[in-house]
Amino acid sequence: MKNVASGLLISLLSAFALACGGRPVELVLPVGTVELVDPSAEFPRIRFDDGLISANDRCPVTKRKLSVAFPPVYVNGLPIGFC
């Protein structure tokens, strides 16, 4: 009986893992040319390739300086930069 229960548990966990991990890997596109709006500022904003300036001046995750290496996420049409 214990083998049947453990076999059922392994089957359910395997099915769950396959269902959750079934998304293919997505390639993040390059950001393009970006520039710092005021490089002398402690937390400069970033002007992205589309001409829009980041709505934030620091990373929402770690509160550090924004990085030009990460693409923005657009919220209500405004780019949010990350570190």
In tens, the pLDDT along 67-82 reads 888 888 899 999 999 9
Task: Report CA Rg, the chain.
Answer: 21
The mean pLDDT of the chain is 82
**Residue 72 to residue 31: CA distance in whole angstroms:** 8
- Given a contact cutoff of 8 angstroms between Cβ atoms, the answer to whether 43 and 67 are in contact is no
In sequence order, what are the beta bridge partners of 36?
A: 46
- Given a contact cutoff of 8 angstroms between Cβ atoms, the answer to whether 35 and 77 are in contact is no
Q: Has residue 28 got a pLDDT over 90?
A: no
Which pTM value belongs to this model? 0.61
Q: Where are the domains of the chain?
A: 2-80
